[in-house]
A and B are shown apart, each in its own frame.
Chain A
């Protein structure tokens, strides 16, 4: 095995552990931190089912952002949706489940062009960050770097598809060997710079996910203004620490 292959194997194990453990710890923290008061932003659903629907609209359609700024919504929504579809197509590097592969193959030709949608969305967000004075004011260096990171991942990935093909069969075999700890059959990773850069940046993204603003992904599900049922008069809501004040 080449040094590059070994280094990337180690990197992806480390990145996966950091991502999973970091995210799990953060989610556990959100889970166990109580919400002592009912604070849904009203009008809010009066049933649990209504809350599920509200959250669905928020997560899938970015409802609140749509109410706010159409441009940000457009770029943000296009970027996220394209990202998810591109990620879905990446399943072909990890799985051999037959029916799943068939879906991936079926949508593949269409989905691969979504890389451009993703890049356009990111460029829109970056432009907004640079040229709208209010957004420029609130941006820290990390906010620009995050967009840059995602852009480079998108561009390097798209280039392996559209400019300089990489040996995807070897890449797939590499990741399946990693997943099944099957080191004897692990092939060497291709060494063309595009795939190396792409994989390196993806690992970096995985590592910083649980310590950055990417925590908005789990965060939205724990947001009390969005996930609470509007029923304070019908049902008494009280946190453990608050109950202690009553004794």
Chain B
């Protein structure tokens, strides 16, 4: 067990809705961004003098730009449908982590300054002035929302707390109160091209290393090209795929699939990052700027298609927003959707029969699958609604003999967040991340005990990193978490692969 300075929630076999306990997470807030991380994003470096006035002005601006914000701030009837749906409430019991409790932090200020009832009868409708205390609450609790949209599934009006959190973060950024983790990363993307600040040379070295590893293991020269002009496919993947575990095993898998499919592909040093933290901070302008790198890279490299690697929020931005932010993509091959998910590609190849699969390579595992929130509730794969649930499972079942789903109320559109999404994957929010993982940990523990599950597959860089970190707090092994394309990679028998099955098994045992 990892050591912690806070109490780790007890996992229950039958998850219960806990009673409300006021203020349990009032102390939780991430580091504030220094001016050097604010200014590249066109935000003031620190809290501006007339911040109240500016904040209300910003709120008014956003109310005019986002129908979601305007309608959602008006429409809530406080029915309570969402109150037991947020993993952060279930893990912390803090009522300000109930979706409506969180929204109300913004709604009470909206009512005070923008509605008749709030202007003249504030006490009656729970309207409040924007004070320093309210701002502190905003900073604390709008950084306890992973924008996973689980609440929006259950709301009779579809109110999406993610929209409210994004607006709140944008308002705070505009008055100079930014979050260090997100804003530093966005600044890095602008400067270097990816979240991790990996320069082109380091990237090239890493990919060369991967090629050597794969060739050593299989005897086949699988290429991981960078900036290859004229390639058919541009692969945009989260930069964690370049070195983090288990992410990199997924990247190895993508390369093997492309190799066997016989397509030409490339990564880009300019768009060496699928993630787009502009979404987390609700900034259309920054999200657009980050997205434009992908358009530019596609144009410069002259590719015909764009495919995204395994990443949750990146797939939301890609699938739902890329055409809006950086389109139209009329210079790409119209035969393919823009963009595609790597799982759509791999599933297509599996159906075509181009991949030689040995499912027994994954026989040491009983696998379950974690639906990532942004894939599950904010995007799609394939032509049918719900393809985002079927395609990953189809691929897993095509490469693994043993697959088990977790409890139905914790998967598909009702999936629980890993606890680290939405710009919260930072060590200064560790307590929140551990507590927020509770509902997912409960569901996982149940399938471990009932079905002997050994591994949980994920298709999101944040989920993978978050689980790696929090599993040990709950007494589980951090290596349990695997990439879906890692499973694919294990099972693919490359054309001309020289070494025998036994060797392969051994090398896997070594890695485990």
Residues of A whose CB lies within 8 Å of any CB of B are 26, 29-30, 33-39, 41-46, 58, 62, 64-65, 67-69, 72, 76, 125, 128-129, 132-135, 137-143, 145, 208, 211-213, 215-216, 219-220, 222-226, 230, 232-239, 241-242, 245
Contacts and interface: CB of A to CB of B under 8 A. Distances in A.
Given A42-B379, A42-B380, A219-B71, A213 B78 contact: yes
A60 B413 CA distance: 22
A245 B76 contact: no
B352 interface: no
Contact of A137 (B95, B116, B156, B339): B95
Interface pairs A-B: 5 shortest CB-CB: A219-B75, A140-B126, A68-B154, A225-B158, A43-B385
Contacts, number: 218
A174 to B, nearest CB: 30
B208 interface: no
Contacts of B378: 39, 41-42
Nearest to A246: B288
A212 B117 contact: yes
Contact of B323 (A69, A222, A236, A242): A236
A72 B163 contact: no
Contacts of B413: 41-43
Given A38-B321, A65-B156, A33 B63 contact: yes
Contacts of A138: 78, 80, 83, 95, 98, 100-101, 104
B157 A223 contact: yes
Nearest to A145: B124
15 contacts: A67-B414, A68-B82, A72-B79, A125-B79, A134-B17, A138-B80, A138-B100, A215-B74, A216-B74, A223-B75, A225-B152, A233-B319, A233-B338, A239-B65, A245-B284
B151 to A, nearest CB: 9
Interface string B141-168: 0000000010011111111100100000
B324 A237 contact: yes
A26 B73 CA distance: 13
Given A39-B378, A42-B377, 15 more contacts: A30-B71, A33-B63, A42-B380, A42-B388, A43-B385, A46-B384, A65-B79, A65-B156, A76-B156, A125-B79, A134-B17, A216-B156, A220-B75, A224-B67, A224-B71
A41 B78 contact: no
Contacts of B389: 43
A121 B242 CA distance: 57
A228 to B, nearest CB: 10
Contact of A39 (B78, B153, B160): B160
Nearest to A237: B324
B26 to A, nearest CB: 15
Contacts of A69: 80-81, 84, 154
A141 B80 CA distance: 15
Contacts of B284: 36-37, 242, 245
Given A132-B80, A134-B98, A233-B338, A41 B377 contact: yes
Q: Give the most central of A29, A76, A134, A226: most B CB within 10 Å.
A: A134
A64 B158 contact: yes
A227 to B, nearest CB: 8
A141 B81 contact: no
A30 B74 CA distance: 10
Given A233-B323, A242-B284, A245-B285, A134 B84 contact: yes
A220 B158 CA distance: 7
B158 A223 contact: yes
A43 B158 contact: no
B67 A142 contact: no
A65 B154 contact: yes
Contact of A216 (B20, B75, B124): B75
Contacts of A36: 65-66, 284, 324
Given A42-B376, A42-B385, A242 B76 contact: no
A180 to B, nearest CB: 32
Contacts of A220: 75, 156-158
B123 interface: yes
B293 interface: no
Nearest to A239: B65
B378 to A, nearest CB: 6
Contacts of B82: 68
A225 B72 CA distance: 10
Contact of B320 (A38, A142, A241): A38
A35 B77 CA distance: 22
Nearest to A62: B156
B445 interface: no
B70 interface: yes
B67 A211 contact: no
Nearest to B64: A33
Contacts of B81: 64-65, 68-69, 72
B68 interface: yes
B358 to A, nearest CB: 33
Contacts of A64: 81, 153-156, 158
A46 B153 contact: no
Nearest to B85: A68
